[in-house]
Amino acid sequence: MDYLQLVPAAWRLRFPDATEREFIDYYNVTTINAIRISLAVGVILYAAFGLLDLNSLPVTTSTAWFYRFSVGCPAIFIALLFSYITPLRGLLQVVMTVMCIVAGLALVLIVRQSQPTELAYDHYYVGVIIIMMFTGSWVRLRFWHALAAHTVIIGAYFILVSHARHLAVDRHLIVNNTVFLLAAYFVASLTGYIFEVDSRIGFLQWKTIEAEKNTSNLQREEITVQAQQLAETIGVLKDTQAQLVQREKMAALGELTAGVAHEIQNPLNFVKNFAEVSREMLEEMQQSLANEHLTEPGTATVQALLRDLGNMQQKIGQHSQRADAIVKGMLEHSRSTGGNRQPTDLNRLAEEALRLSYHNRQLQEPAFTANLATDFDPHVGLVSVASTDIQRVLLNLLGNAFYSVSHKKQRLGAAFTPQVKVATKRRGKGVEIRVRDNGAGMSKEVLQKLFQPFFTTKPPGEGTGLGLSISHDIITSGHGGAISATSQSGEYAEFCITLPAM
Q: What is the largest CA-CA distance in the chain?
A: 185
Instruction: State how far the Cα of 154 lies from the Cα of 100, in Å rounded to an integer.
Output: 12
In this prediction, residue 478 carries a pLDDT of 82
- Helical H runs in 158-295? 167-290
Q: What one-letter code names the amino acid at 320?
A: S
Which listed CATH number (3.40.50.300, 3.30.1360.70, 3.60.15.10, 3.30.565.10) goes with 342-500? 3.30.565.10
The CA-atom distances, in angstroms, between 33 and each of 133, 146, 159 are: 19, 19, 36
In this prediction, residue 463 carries a pLDDT of 62
Do residues 442 and 492 touch, judged by C-beta distance below 8 A?
no
In this prediction, residue 179 carries a pLDDT of 86
Q: What is the residue extent of each domain of the chain?
A: 12-222, 255-334, 342-500
In this prediction, residue 323 carries a pLDDT of 67
Instruction: State how far the Cα of 143 lies from the Cα of 25, in Å rounded to an integer.
Output: 16
Instruction: State how far the Cα of 135 lies from the Cα of 35, in Å rounded to an integer.
Output: 10
Instruction: State how far the Cα of 191 lies from the Cα of 137, in Å rounded to an integer.
Output: 6
Instruction: State how far the Cα of 203 lies from the Cα of 248, in Å rounded to an integer.
Output: 65
Do residues 469 and 478 touch, judged by C-beta distance below 8 A?
no
In this prediction, residue 250 carries a pLDDT of 46
Instruction: List, in sequence order, every residue forming a beta bridge with 373; answer none if it has no partner.
Output: 421
Task: Report the candidate in 339, 357, 26, 362 with the shortest Cα–Cα distance to residue 206.
Answer: 26
Per-residue pLDDT of the chain (502 residues; tens, 9 = 90+): 566 677 777 777 788 878 888 888 888 888 899 899 999 999 999 999 999 999 899 999 999 999 999 999 999 999 999 999 988 888 988 999 999 999 999 999 998 888 888 888 778 888 889 988 888 888 888 888 889 999 999 888 888 876 655 444 566 777 788 888 889 889 988 888 888 888 888 888 888 888 888 888 888 888 988 898 898 889 888 877 766 765 555 455 556 655 665 666 667 677 767 767 776 776 776 676 666 555 666 667 666 766 777 677 777 766 666 666 666 655 555 554 556 788 999 999 999 999 989 998 888 888 899 999 999 999 998 998 988 889 889 998 999 999 999 999 998 988 899 999 999 999 888 999 999 999 989 888 888 888 877 777 676 656 666 778 888 888 888 888 999 999 998 899 999 999 998 6
- For residue 92, give every residue at least 6 positions away whose Cβ sits within 8 Å of its Cβ, in sequence order, or none: 28, 32, 35, 79, 82, 83
Instruction: State how far the Cα of 89 lies from the Cα of 241, in Å rounded to an integer.
Output: 65
**3-class secondary structure, 372:** strand
In this prediction, residue 322 carries a pLDDT of 65
In this prediction, residue 167 carries a pLDDT of 44
Torsion of the alpha carbons at 296, 302, 306 and 308, rounded to the nearest 10:
100
466 — phi, psi (to 5°)?
Answer: -110, -10
Q: What one-letter code names the amino acid at 359?
A: H
Do residues 50 and 68 touch, judged by C-beta distance below 8 A?
yes
In this prediction, residue 288 carries a pLDDT of 66
